[in-house]
Amino acid sequence: MRQTFPVLLSVIPLSLVLVAPAHAISRYNSTGMTCQAVQSTLAREGAAVLRYPGRTGVTLYDRYVSSGRFCTADDFADDATVPTRDRADCPVKHCVKRPSPEDCGGFFEPGCTGFP
């Protein structure tokens, strides 16, 4: 019994390391950046949280990505837009839950082909 206690204590810290995120994600205010700067940031970092004021003044945010490689297997990178300093609708991508096959209207519907 004395031997299992130290082994258990050494396994607990290891399990905490395994569930920790791979790296921290950067956060930016998109309205303080140009559209080109937002797109360059996503291309360089792969993913970032972008914040911006909504229509009612409440701050909105989401995780935006450079491609589907930064989404989980159940998600795909879908087109979206965010407001920036120089554009009201800067094109970006964000991860969205992939629809189930029975919900797909056709092979070319976003997320239905199995490809990002």
Q: Residue 19 — very low, low, confident or very high, per pLDDT cuts 50/70/90? A: very low
Is residue 94 within 8 Å of residue 40, measured between CB atoms? no
Task: Please compute the mean of the pLDDT values over residues 96-112 and round it to a whole number.
Answer: 70
28 pLDDT higher than 80: yes
Q: Residue 13 — very low, low, confident or very high, per pLDDT cuts 50/70/90? A: low
